[in-house]
Amino acid sequence: MKIVSKIFLVIILFAQQQVIAQSLDQMQAKSVRLPNGWSLTPVGRSMPLGDLPLNMILSKSGKLLAVTNNGQGVQSIQLIDPQKEQLLDSVVIAKSWYGLAFSSDEKFLELIANIKRKGKNSKYDCVIGLSGGLDSSYLLHVAVKKYGLRPLVFHVDGGWNTEAAVKNIHSLVEGLGLELITDVINWKEMRDLQLAFFRSGVPHIDLPQDHAFIASLYKFALKHKVKYILPPVCFNPAIALQAVSGFSK
């Protein structure tokens, strides 16, 4: 009986040693060796960030986490979904500071991150209609320069283009390094439709042209498999969520 007990004890001790050895191996596999030779083993789950993340802040809703990376290499601000442990967006900036704060348009930031995430494997992540006027020109500039979007720039020539508008279009597209697609509407058909609206005396005589613009935008968005169409009001956060068109086809 004593022999059996001793054998059983030896088996238990051997099993414990195996478990301890296995745990040490797992810890060492996850450990990071520092420049001074020490090893650092993170506790819990971790995810890769940028170069020297020094500060992070959680949004008021708890749905977003912002991280500032202040290393000697690429400096950036990253936007993370802490619940899904997923990187939503990363913006490279010239100089990263320690301070971080969320603006009041938190849902708008989620929208921008969502546009980027869903379009990350495509050439374009959104479609922007550019007329050459103030609203669409500002939209295009902010979308590219401030939010880092990759729009398919689309222009519909309905027969009413001015010289100034055409110049603005080409200046913006060339200056931002974008691709421009122009759809020229059949002028005879458009002229006949608009004359009919004039003569009928109905309000909103621009309806034929407006419908042609919207139809062309959706057609090209579907053709290039781009989910989001951004109208000029998009970067007013108060109405952006209602304004952005998203479709799944």
| Residue pLDDT, tens place only, 35-91 | 788 887 877 777 888 888 888 989 888 888 989 888 888 888 888 988 888 888 888
Which of the two residues, 97 and 12, has the higher pLDDT score?
Answer: 97
Report d(CA 151, CA 226) in Å as an integer: 9
Residue 175 is predicted with a pLDDT of: 93
pLDDT band at 8 (very low <50, low <70, confident <90, very high): very low
pLDDT tier, 176 (very low <50, low <70, confident <90, very high otherwise): very high
Asked if 102 and 66 touch (Cβ cutoff 8 Å), the reply is yes
pLDDT at 19: 38
- With a cut of 60, say whether residue 95 has pLDDT above it: yes
Say how far apart CA 150 and CA 128 lie, in whole Å. Answer: 10
Mean per-residue pLDDT, 140-146: 89
Amino acid at 129: G
Residues with Cβ within 8 Å of residue 96, at least 6 apart in sequence: 68, 69, 70, 75, 76, 77
DSSP 104: S
pLDDT at 244: 47
How would residue 26 be classed by pLDDT, with cut points 50, 70 and 90?
very low
Residue 80, beta-bridge partner list = 65, 87
pLDDT band at 172 (very low <50, low <70, confident <90, very high): very high
- Domains of the chain from N-terminus onward: 53-102 (no CATH), 117-246 (3.40.50.620)
State the pLDDT confidence band at 232, using cuts at 50, 70 and 90: low
Task: Name the pairing type of β-strands 126-129 and 151-157.
Answer: parallel
Q: Read off the tokens for 93.
A: 């900036």
**10 or 147, which is more confident:** 147
Q: What is the mean pLDDT of residues 100-124?
A: 82
Measured between alpha carbons, how far is 124 from 154 in angstroms, rounded to an integer?
12
Residue 15 pLDDT > 50 = no
Residue corresponding to tokens 């009928």: 200
Most confident of 40-54, 170-184, 197-211: 170-184
The letter for the amino acid at 107 is K
Q: List the end-to-end C-alpha distance of the chain, in Å, as a whole number.
A: 75
Residue 102 has pLDDT above 50, yes or no: yes
Kindly indicate the confidence band of residue 173, based on its pLDDT and cuts at 50, 70 and 90. Answer: very high
**Residue 201 or 244, more confident:** 201
Sheet holding 126-129, edge to edge: 180-184, 151-157, 126-129, 228-230, 245-246
Look at the block and give the residue holding tokens 């819990």.
44
Residues 80 and 88: beta-carbon distance below 8 Å: yes
What tokens does 225 get?
Answer: 């498999």
Residue 193 — left, alpha, or beta (φ > 0 → left; ψ -120 to 50 → alpha)?
alpha
Alpha carbons 142 and 227: distance in angstroms, whole number = 19
Supply the pLDDT for residue 242.
Answer: 40
Predicted pLDDT of residue 171? 92
